[in-house]
Amino acid sequence: MLKWSPDLSVGVPEIDDQHKLLADRANLLFEKLPGSSPELVLDAFSFFESFIATHFETEASYMDSPAGAAYKNAPSHKAIHERFLNEFREYRQEMEQGATDQYFVFELTRWITDWYTEHINTVDKELGEALRAFETSKKRQR
Ligand SMILES: [Fe+2]
């Protein structure tokens, strides 16, 4: 079970809100995985994938905004997002080929759970810091 907590805040409300929703969407997927019909599981996969793709676009638009100009790790951050989506699609393919045993469910759940916490705590927080530093410097100039 994935849970957002205040210590995962990156200090940008829109990103934090999406991270909270992301945990909900991931939990929906985890719930559907064991025992649901293949159609329902596939729906949950698509739902999660489109949500996280949209979320990555939101983060990318922050990186591409004037506020993100000071953030030097945009290319590697975007590449990490891309890798996540590719790996997620590989899991989905495996699932479509019938891999829904306990081991598969365990692996996928663990991967997403670890990734979520690790990613937010490292690169997303770094991005949040750069965005907030920009806001602070703007305020000082006023
Ligand atoms: Fe990110």
> Average pLDDT in the 114-138 region?
94
Cα 37 to middle of ligand 1, angstroms: 31
Given the structure tokens 């790790």, which residue do they identify? 73
4 φ/ψ angles, rounded to the nearest 5 degrees? -80, 140
Q: Is 9 part of any domain?
A: no
What does the pLDDT look like over 30-73, one tens digit per residue?
Answer: 988 877 788 888 888 999 999 999 999 999 999 999 999 989 99
The chain-wide mean pLDDT, for the chain, equals: 92
Cα 107 to middle of ligand 1, angstroms: 21
Q: Is 51 part of any domain?
A: yes
- Give the least confident one: 31-45, 74-88, 124-138: 31-45
> For the whole model, what pTM was predicted?
0.92
**The tokens of 32 are what?**
């559907």
- Give me the pLDDT at residue 107, please: 92
Residue 140 has pLDDT above 90, yes or no: no
Domain limits at 27? 14-135
Given the structure tokens 């019938």, which residue do they identify? 98
User: Strand, helix or coil at 2?
Assistant: coil
Cα 78 to middle of ligand 1, angstroms: 7
CATH number for 24: 1.20.120.50
Domain total of the chain: 1
Q: Is 62 part of any domain?
A: yes
7, with CB counted inside 10 A (0-12, 13-18, 19+), is exposed
What is the separation of C-alpha 122 from the centre of its chain, rounded to a whole number of angstroms? Answer: 12
- Give me the pLDDT at residue 10, please: 98
Are 64 and 21 spatial neighbours (Cβ–Cβ below 8 Å)? no
> Average pLDDT in the 19-23 region?
97
**The tokens of 77 are what?**
């951050």
Residue 142 has pLDDT above 80, yes or no: no
Cα 85 to middle of ligand 1, angstroms: 12
> Average pLDDT in the 81-87 region?
98
Q: Is 8 part of any domain?
A: no
Q: Is 140 part of any domain?
A: no
Q: Is 117 part of any domain?
A: yes
Cα 60 to middle of ligand 1, angstroms: 8
